[in-house]
C-alpha cells in the first residue's frame, strides 16, 4: 500500500486554503515545482485529480473537497501533537514564522530578532512582510506585528512600547531652491512622492498638532507602493516624502534628508506582537515572547 507523506498531504491542504500553488509554496518553504510534483505524485497514487488547474486559477475537484475535509482534521491533530512535544523542549529549536508590515519588520529586527537569534541559534526566524492584513492563523504564522488598533480582537497582544511617528522629509538640494513648508497646506505648493495603498487607493498624508488635524491629498511626479523606492526618489530630489520615522532616521542624522513639519507629526500608537492563545506553546515561541517582554520592559 502506498503511504502518502505528510508533506504531500500538507501540500494539498495548503493549496486548498490559499487557492494558489505559489502562495502555498511560500507558506511551506518549497518551490512551486516541488509542490506541484508532490501533488502530482499523490494524485497518481490515489488515481483521482484533486485540483482543477488553469493558467489563471486552481480549485478543488469534488474528490479533492472530500479528501481535504477528511485529511485537514488529522493533520491538525498531528500539528497539535508536535506542538505539545516541542513545548517540552529544554532547548528552544524549530521555526518561528512572523507576519508584519515592512516598517514593523524593520522596527523589530534590532534588537529583538537579532538578539533572539544570538541567544537561540537553533531557532530559525522566518519573517514575511506585506502591507495587507492577513489572518495569521489561517496563513500559518505564529506571530504578527501591527499597530495596536489593527490587532484582531480575538488575539493576545503584547505592546512593544515602540511609539510610531511619521516624518516629512526632503533632500538638502531640494530645499536650495524652495522654501520649507510651515503647515500641511503648504505641501500643495510642493512636488511630493505619492503613495499607493495595497487596495489601490492613493494615501492622503495625515497630520496632527494638538487638537488640530489635517489631511492632504498631495500631488507629485511619481506614485510608488514601496517605501525603499520612495526614499530613493526623495534622496534624489524628486520631491518631498512621507515616511515612518524609523525608515529615514539614519538619513536625517547623516544629513541626507531634512525633516520638516515636525510639530505636525507627533508620536502615536505603539507596535504590538500578537498571537492566538495556545495551550502548549513551543519552547521557541515562549522564549521569543519572554525576550520581547524583557526588551520592552513589559
Instruction: At 259, list the grid cell.
Output: 525633516
Q: Is the pLDDT of residue 221 over 50?
A: yes
Q: What is the pLDDT of residue 1?
A: 37
Quick one: 80 and 203 in the same domain? Answer: no
Quick one: 120 and 77 in the same domain? Answer: no
Indicate whether 107 belongs to any domain.
yes
Q: What is the pLDDT of residue 86?
A: 62
Q: What is the CATH number of the domain that holds 126?
A: 3.40.190.10
Q: Is the pLDDT of residue 103 over 60?
A: yes
CA atoms within 13 A on the CB side of 241: 32
Q: Which has the higher per-residue pLDDT, 246 or 83?
A: 246
Quick one: 197 and 147 in the same domain? Answer: no
- Report the phi/psi class of residue 297: left, alpha or beta, with left for phi > 0 and alpha for psi in -120 to 50: left
Last residue in a domain, options 37, 53, 86: 86
Quick one: 187 and 239 in the same domain? Answer: yes
Quick one: 127 and 185 in the same domain? Answer: no
Q: What is the CATH number of the domain that holds 21?
A: 1.10.10.10
Confidence of residue 285 (pLDDT cuts 50, 70, 90): very high
Last residue in a domain, options 86, 114, 140: 86
Q: 176-220 pLDDT, tens per residue?
A: 989 999 999 999 999 999 999 877 889 999 999 999 999 999 999
- Taking residues 223-251, what's their average pLDDT? 93
Distance, CA of 298 to CA of 292 (rounded, Å): 8
Structural domain range at position 279: 94-161+269-296
Q: What is the CATH number of the domain that holds 230?
A: 3.40.190.290
Indicate whether 1 belongs to any domain.
no
Q: What is the pLDDT of residue 298?
A: 63
**Average pLDDT in the chain:** 89
Number of separate domains in the chain? 3
Q: 41-92 pLDDT, tens per residue?
A: 898 888 899 999 887 788 999 999 999 999 988 888 887 777 677 666 668 9
pTM of the model: 0.62
Q: Which has the higher per-residue pLDDT, 252 or 9?
A: 252
Q: What is the pLDDT of residue 2?
A: 44
- Taking residues 94-122, what's their average pLDDT? 92
Indicate whether 207 belongs to any domain.
yes
Indicate whether 43 belongs to any domain.
yes
Quick one: 52 and 25 in the same domain? Answer: yes
Last residue in a domain, options 54, 86, 118: 86
Indicate whether 222 belongs to any domain.
yes
Quick one: 256 and 177 in the same domain? Answer: yes
Quick one: 154 and 291 in the same domain? Answer: yes
Q: What is the pLDDT of residue 117?
A: 96
Indicate whether 75 belongs to any domain.
yes
Least confidently predicted of 6-10, 53-57, 162-166, 268-272: 53-57
Q: 1-11 pLDDT, tens per residue?
A: 344 578 888 88
Indicate whether 183 belongs to any domain.
yes
Confidence of residue 152 (pLDDT cuts 50, 70, 90): confident
Q: What is the pLDDT of residue 87?
A: 61
Q: Is the pLDDT of residue 288 over 50?
A: yes
Q: Yes or no: say if 116 and 125 are a contact pair by the CB < 8 Å rule.
A: yes
* Dihedral, 96, 295, 146, 148 alpha carbons, nearest 10: 130
CA atoms within 13 A on the CB side of 283: 13
Q: Is the pLDDT of residue 20 over 80?
A: yes
As a whole-number percent, the residues of the chain with pLDDT over 90 amount to 51
- Taking residues 245-266, what's their average pLDDT? 95
Confidence of residue 225 (pLDDT cuts 50, 70, 90): confident
* Residue 59 burial (CB count, 10 A): 13
Q: Concatenated DSSP letters for 259-280?
A: EE-GGG---EEEEEEEE---SS
Quick one: 106 and 82 in the same domain? Answer: no
Quick one: 292 and 244 in the same domain? Answer: no
Distance, CA of 297 to CA of 243 (rounded, Å): 27
CA angle 282, 88, 71 (to 5 degrees): 60
Quick one: 262 and 273 in the same domain? Answer: no
Indicate whether 218 belongs to any domain.
yes
Quick one: 155 and 289 in the same domain? Answer: yes
Amino acid at each position: 500500500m502506498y503511504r502518502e507523506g505528510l508533506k504531500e498531504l500538507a501540500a494539498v491542504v495548503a493549496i486548498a486554503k490559499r487557492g494558489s500553488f505559489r502562495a502555498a509554496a511560500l507558506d511551506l518553504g518549497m518551490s512551486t515545482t516541488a509542490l506541484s510534483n508532490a501533488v502530482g505524485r499523490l494524485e497518481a497514487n490515489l488515481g483521482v485529480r484533486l485540483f482543477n488547474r488553469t493558467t489563471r486559477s486552481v480549485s478543488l475537484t469534488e474528490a479533492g473537497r472530500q479528501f481535504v475535509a477528511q485529511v485537514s482534521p488529522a493533520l491538525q491533530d498531528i500539528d497539535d501533537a508536535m506542538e505539545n512535544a516541542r513545548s517540552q523542549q529544554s532547548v528552544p529549536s524549530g521555526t518561528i514564522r512572523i507576519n508584519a508590515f515592512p516598517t514593523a519588520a524593520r522596527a523589530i529586527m534590532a534588537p529583538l530578532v537579532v538578539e533572539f537569534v544570538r541567544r537561540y541559534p537553533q531557532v530559525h526566524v522566518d519573517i514575511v512582510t506585506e502591507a495587507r492584513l492577513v489572518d495569521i492563523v489561517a496563513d500559518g504564522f505564529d506571530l504578527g506585528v501591527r499597530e495596536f488598533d489593527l490587532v484582531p480582537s480575538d488575539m493576545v497582544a503584547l505592546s512593544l512600547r515602540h511609539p510610531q511617528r511619521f516624518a516629512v522629509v526632503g533632500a538638502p538640494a531640494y530645499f536650495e531652491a524652495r522654501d520649507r513648508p510651515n503647515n500641511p497646506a503648504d505641501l500643495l505648493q510642493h512636488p511630493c512622492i505619492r503613495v499607493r495603498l495595497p487596495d489601490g487607493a492613493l494615501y492622503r498624508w495625515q497630520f496632527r498638532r494638538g487638537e488640530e488635524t489635517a489631511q492632504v491629498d498631495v500631488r507629485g511626479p511619481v506614485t510608488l507602493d514601496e517605501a525603499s523606492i520612495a526614499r530613493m526618489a526623495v534622496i534624489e530630489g524628486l520631491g518631498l516624502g512621507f515616511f515612518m520615522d524609523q525608515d529615514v532616521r539614519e538619513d536625517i542624522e547623516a544629513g541626507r534628508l531634512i525633516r520638516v513639519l515636525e510639530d505636525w507629526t507627533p508620536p502615536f500608537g505603539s507596535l504590538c506582537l500578537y498571537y492566538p492563545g495556545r495551550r502548549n506553546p513551543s519552547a521557541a515561541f515562549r522564549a521569543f515572547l519572554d525576550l520581547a517582554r524583557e526588551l520592552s520592559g513589559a
